[in-house]
Amino acid sequence: MLKAFKYRIAPTPDQAELLNKHCGAVRFVYNLALETKTFAYSTKQVNVSRMELSAQLTDLKKECEWLKEVNSQSLQSALLNLDIAYSNFFKGTADFPTFKKKNRKQSFQCPQNVVVDFTKGTIDLPKFKEPIKAVFHRTFTGSVRTVTISRTPTGKYFASVLVDTAAVIPTKAPVERSTSVGVDLGIKTFAVLSDGTEYANPKHLNQSIDRLKVLQRRASKKKKGSNNRKKANRKVAVLHEKIANQRKDFLHKASDAITKRYDTVVLEDLAVANMVKNPGRSGVPGEPHKLARSISDAGWGMFRQFVEYKSEWRGKNVLTIGRFEPSSKLHNTCGYINKDLLSSDREWICPNCNELVSRDLNASINILNFGLLKHSGRQSSGEPVESPTLVGTLKQEKLKRASAPAYRPDL
């Protein structure tokens, strides 16, 4: 089993300078290779492979002598990452690769010759004369595969160690309704489980948005390229980092609690990227407007990633249902579909059985039902989950007749 362990490292000024050189060199090679591949294909319809680019590194080092100061395998890893980015684009799982920027998060990889010493509290990297001090808040057992060194916009350095723990992945638990849970993700309430448990949305960005606006306004008024502007931008980055850490902490705790408690978790396959691009319809009663910031702040995609890999570690199951399933509009008890339900309606009374329906709880139960149906080989397609009854069918027919237009023979 592969696991990643992330540690904070404390390099000396000389070590920090060499780390920055590694980040700059890797960024330079990545951007140059991306430009080469794009230009070759756009002008000559030729695909430059990773092996061809790797063979050209020797000539590039003759032109750029400073590339010899960094680990050669880190440069090779940059070409590998670019090749993976291209593959993900053609598979349809990611956008086209973009150029790396200097003011964003920087990183480089060391695939070999890395020594992690818990006794001395250091990490020894190639090209470094002395090991780098690290804060080991936890230890691991296993062989080190790769180490990724990263530098945040706030100037902090971290080492992410990918370890082969040699542990066997547990066998998946059987899918049973008694040990399964449906999860409905939202904005007003972050998550509502089918057992009635609710996780309130902390809205970390919204809590700090006023302070963030002030810092961004101050930074925009500073002269470009000045030290004061750099200091102001760093304060903005510090606040952004704090918000991101708060969000990750909340999502880790929520996903950890759910995957420990249940053997099967059912989620909606939400297209978060498309939802963020859609600002909402203004002028329509009950329809939200400009929810992109709130959706991004909730972190639904990150939550799903956490649930998936933690379930894999623990031998649990993760099921997904289609994003177009009527999870909110379908009453889970009688099967009535409320086609007039608005996003602002948190509760509604079912015309079929006169029961007060909680939108989020009802959706989570439907998500569970749809997921179990799909796993059993049946598709829901919006039909009632439970078997229809005579009384329910009679009430449905009466509702259809009452809503049908009156017959006019003169038409």
Residue 392 CB neighbour total at 10 angstroms? 18
Q: From 120, 108, 173, 136, select the one nearest 7 (Cα to Cα).
A: 136
Q: Identify residue 365 by its one-letter amino acid code.
A: I
Q: How far apart are CA 309 and CA 307, in angstroms?
A: 6
Rounded Cα distance between 123 and 218, Å, is: 39
Catalytic residue (one of 83, 263, 268, 297): 268
Rounded Cα distance between 89 and 95, Å, is 5
Within 8 A by CB and 6+ apart from 157, the residues are 8, 9, 10, 11, 16, 19, 149, 150, 151
Q: Which two structure tokens, joined as six digits, stand for 204? A: 């970390």
Phi, psi of 213, rounded to the nearest 5 degrees: -65, -40
**Torsion angle of alpha carbons 149, 150, 151, 156, nearest 10°?**
-80
What value does the CA radius of gyration of the chain take, rounded to a whole number of Å?
27
360 included as an active-site residue: yes
Strand-pairing partners, residue 348, are: 357
* Catalytic site includes residue 268: yes
Chain center to CA of 280: 22
Round to the nearest angstrom and report the end-to-end CA distance of the chain.
72
| Active-site position among 83, 184, 263, 297 | 184
Identify the active-site residue in 263, 297, 325, 360.
360
Distant-in-sequence, close-in-space partners of 201: CB < 8 Å, separation ≥ 6: 186, 187, 188, 189, 190, 298
Number of H helices, E strands in the chain: 11, 14
Nearest residue to 365 (alpha-carbon basis) of 324, 325, 315, 396: 325
> What are the tokens at 32?
């140059």
**What is the CB neighbour count within 10 angstroms for residue 31?**
17
What is the separation of C-alpha 184 from the centre of its chain, rounded to a whole number of angstroms? 17
Instruction: Tell me how crowded residue 402 is: count the other CB atoms within 10 A of its CB.
Output: 8
Cα 52 to Cα 88: distance, rounded to the nearest angstrom: 20
Report, as residue numbers or ranges, the catalytic residues.
184, 268, 360
